[in-house]
Structure 1
């Protein structure tokens, strides 16, 4: 699943490829990809992309002109303006954005293959949204205000924001009774961190994914905050300048523990272990994170006695 570093890299890529260009056609190609009906998709035709923003894992393509009216904002956070339209995209677990310098052949047929959405620009280029697998969760919303998207309205603060300091992080954790892994992945608490980077952050902080938040000391909160900022910041830097089509591969090469079950920990050399759940799994290093003790590989795992 694309998480905040990859979505931020996509935002930067699209900022350089979309802004100032006119949208001439949008084609939803699966029955459930478009989640809104007002304003209609026809309102996008003839508009110009004014900015590309990000809200957690959501891309926000801001347009103005023609059906949208003038005055869209142009901030990296997806600023709004009078008459602006926002095309908010959530790539979900198996979705991706693929840039096209040109489109060849006949228009795609709805419901065929992984192609879910196409946006065509006046210069002949544009992008496709694709989604692998049979479970279709990729979502596109066309709205006048990003807050009209329920998933965006519920988001917590962005961990890459300059204002997100250690004190802000500590305030979020105050009163939390969940395990750290679950808290980091909760989009209502903190926007943009998913399964992969929560594993990476906890490995960098040398903490068990099942440690209760309420048991964290002040020093541990500091260590966790520093690991969060460093892990996400490094991932964004690695992705900077990488073409959209190569970001998935770049993410995999940068991960130290997530998805690396059975490999050697790059810090201590111990074997990376896994805990499996019904629809996901986590990876960790026993030596670095759990005092050498393996976690029980079952739902609601606890340290083996």
Structure 2
């Protein structure tokens, strides 16, 4: 799933390649991905791309005051094309095409989504805050206004595991499954630790880990072509998706806890005092 660093890089890429171009037309191939009808998507035709912003994991393409807001969800992606195919777009394939934006001069971009669970969402609105997911976002962890005091206010009184709290977009915007694993590894903190139990020192360490992990990922992704961002993200992860490999900090074996539709990875030595966390899904299977 694209998270804050990848969406920020996509925003930067589109600022460089799309701003100043006129939208020739927009082809919608997966009507389920289009979540709004007023203004119609056809209203974008003939208007100029004037800016691109990021809100959490939402990408906002400003087209002369109308906003094409995109949430790539778990398996969506944006694919830039210097030359759009001349033949009409067709649905289907390994990475089914959901929406295609044609720009003047022949370039443009596709929105695709792999898998059977469809979550890609596209909105055409007059104000990004009309999108419920944007309106409900928590603070951006890379904003200057996001301080250690902000984080202290967030965790205070919350009897929930810190892993889930970091992933809650209404609490902190932009962090998903992968970077929450990376942040907690950098902070040397168990993903199961209860948020309200954090000491002042632990809050400070977690804050520094959030800022440093995300800033480093954003910097690594800066200037990377859209097609290469997924590979760049994977290469920069230290624990997420690396079950069974050696921790780059201490050398212990990275472990995994599986859930119904996701999993987390962590280092026992760095994060849990050497004790493996219970894998609840495996525990149920062994009963």
Q: Shorter chain as normaliser: what TM range? A: over 0.9
Once residues 123 and 282 of structure 2 are traced to their aligned partners in structure 1, the CA distance between those partners, rounded to angstroms, is 35
Q: How far apart, in 2, do the equivalents of 1:12 and 1:105 lie?
A: 27
CA displacement, residues 250-271 of structure 1 (integer Å, 9 cap, x when unaligned) = 0000000000000000000000
8 Å CA contact 2:38–2:124 kept in 1: the answer is yes
Distance in structure 2 (CA, Å) of the matches to 1:184 and 1:203: 13
Partner of residue 222, structure 1 = 204
Moved more, 98-107 or 52-61: 98-107
How far is the alpha carbon of 1:110 from its aligned partner? 3.6
Residue equivalent to 2:165: 183
Partners of 1:145 and 1:110 in 2: how far apart?
A: 30
Match of 1:280 in 2: 262
* 2:249 counterpart residue number: 267
- Tell me, in whole angstroms, the C-alpha distance in 2 between the residues paired with 1:258 and 1:49: 36
Note the residue ranges of structure 1 that are not aligned, 5 or more in a row: 65-83
CA contact (8 A) 1:29 1:111 kept: no
Q: Secondary structure at the match of 1:32?
A: helix
- The answer to whether the 8 A contact 1:31-1:111 is kept is no
Q: Following TM superposition, by how much is the alpha carbon of 1:135 offset from its aligned partner in structure 2, in angstroms?
A: 1.1
- Taking the aligned partners of 2:30 and 2:75, their CA distance within structure 1 comes to 14
Deviations 1:79-115 (A, max 9, x none): xxxxx10100000000110000001241112455511
2:39 alignment partner in structure 1: 39
Q: Give structure 1 regions of 4+ aligned residues with deviation exceeding 6 angstroms.
A: none
Give the length in aligned residue pairs: 282
Aligned to 1:59: 59
For 2:93 and 2:35, the matched residues in 1 are separated by 19
Please state which structure has a larger fraction of its residues in helix: 2
- Alignment correspondent of 1:103: 84
Following superposition, the deviation at residue 31 of structure 1 comes to: 2.6
Q: Are residues 1:139 and 2:117 paired?
A: no
Aligned equivalents of 1:299, 1:23: Cα separation in 2: 48
Tell me the equivalent position of 2:97: 115
* Contact kept in structure 2, 1:30 and 1:111, CA below 8 Å: no
User: Secondary structure in 1 aligned to 2:229?
Assistant: helix
Normalized against structure 2, the TM-score is what?
0.96
Contact 2:90 2:97 in 1 (8 A): no
Note the residue ranges of structure 2 that are not aligned, 5 or more in a row.
none
Alignment of 1:188-203 (within 5 A): 188-203=170-185
Q: Offset at 1:300?
A: 11
Tell me, in whole angstroms, the C-alpha distance in 2 between the residues paired with 1:174 and 1:30.
Answer: 42
CA deviation after TM superposition for structure 1 residue 160, in Å: 1.1
The CA RMSD over aligned residues, in Å, is 1.3
**TM-score when normalising by structure 1:** 0.90
**Residue 70 of structure 2 is aligned with which of 76, 89, 103?**
89
Deviations 1:175-195 (A, max 9, x none): 211110000000000001000
- How far off is 1:53 after superposition? 0.4
Tell which deviates more after alignment, 24-33 or 185-194: 24-33
